[in-house]
Amino acid sequence: MHSSPKTTDLTPDMRSAEAVFIIGAGHFGMRAAELLSAADKGPIFAVDVDEAQLSTLQALPLRTIAGDGIRFLCDAFPELHPRSTIVPAVPLHLAYEWLKRTLEGDRLVRKLDIPKGLVPLLPHTWPADDGSLLVSFADYVCPDDCPEPAYCTVTGERRDPPLYGLLRSLEVPGFRVHVIRSYQLAPGLGGYRVETLQATMHTLTKKAAGKWLLCTSCRCHGVVTALDIAR
């Protein structure tokens, strides 16, 4: 069944603990929709502003929501079940964008330049289009169906510590570090729970102000955004 409900009109299955929200219906969002639909583990919702792109998912057993994915997540968030799953599939650091919009009017969240001393502490890095920093153990294209093992399926190297552990251990002068771990939902596909974003906001705002490196990471790949939070 496919529909495009308003963000204020959440149905009972959208409030379910088993619900999965794919934010973005481009290449990665489509792959997520196909894999999760095949797994048949709970209600799935794909959110994208491009209705034509959403129409390509019509053959799958999921519901589509036409609209800005970040705005949907902000508006619907108070009604979502803490254990519902979010799959970030937009070309932005979803956690940062959600935090920034959620705190609008209460706290000023500003994106900062990546500190110069950060890059030498990380394996391979690339600047993202949104001003964040992409990080990876790989300098090659990983297979889509990587099961995220402790040992790389391409090089045989052990990922120890995993990237989320490496990021948590960072010491960058002037910045605190917070890492959202992305858990594998299917080979090559990761996500995190609603309660993880809620805990992130609590952690980053419990102090009066400060600079943070907000990271989202699985075992091998991640994204880092430098930000400042002020009242």
pLDDT in tens, 79-116: 999 999 999 999 999 999 999 999 988 888 999 999 99
Domain contains 28: yes
The answer as to whether 132 is a domain residue is yes
Q: 203 and 150, same structural domain?
A: yes
Residues 141, 225 within the same domain: yes
Rounded average pLDDT over 23-46: 93
The set of residues, in sequence order, having a beta carbon less than 8 Å from that of 171 and lying 6+ positions away, is none
User: Do both 118 and 176 map to the same domain?
Assistant: yes
Residues 182 and 137 in one domain: yes
Whether 213 and 166 have beta carbons less than 8 Å apart is answered as: no
Q: Is the residue at 96 inside a domain?
A: no
pLDDT surpasses 70 at 205: yes
Q: pTM for the full model? A: 0.91
Range of the domain at 73: 12-90
Q: What is the pLDDT of residue 106?
A: 82
Q: Is the pLDDT of residue 28 over 80?
A: yes
Asked whether residue 166 falls in the same domain as residue 112, the answer is: yes
Using pLDDT thresholds of 50, 70 and 90, give the confidence band for residue 211.
Answer: very high
Instruction: Tell me how far apart the alpha carbons of residues 144 and 122 are, in angstroms, rounded to a whole number.
Output: 23
Which of 52-61, 125-134, 151-160, 217-226 has the lowest average pLDDT? 151-160
Average pLDDT, the chain: 90
Same domain, 68 and 129: no
Instruction: Name 212's bridge partners.
Output: 176, 227
User: Same domain for 18 and 55?
Assistant: yes
Kindly state whether residues 74 and 35 are assigned to the same domain: yes
Q: Provide the pLDDT for residue 153.
A: 67
* Residue 2 scores a pLDDT above 50: no
Name the pLDDT band for 1 (thresholds 50, 70, 90): very low
Rounded Cα gap, residues 83 and 36, in angstroms: 16
Q: Are both 181 and 121 inside the same structural domain? A: yes
Q: How does pLDDT run across 149-164, given as a tens digit for each residue? A: 666 666 667 778 999 9
Q: Tell me if 53 is assigned to some domain.
A: yes
Considering the domain boundaries, does residue 161 fall inside one? yes
| Residues 135, 211 within the same domain | yes
Per residue in 118-146, pLDDT (tens digit) is 999 999 999 999 999 999 997 767 656 76
**Residues 189 and 87 sit within 8 Å (Cβ to Cβ):** yes
72 & 118 share domain? no
Number of domains in the chain: 2
Does residue 101 fall inside a structural domain?
A: no
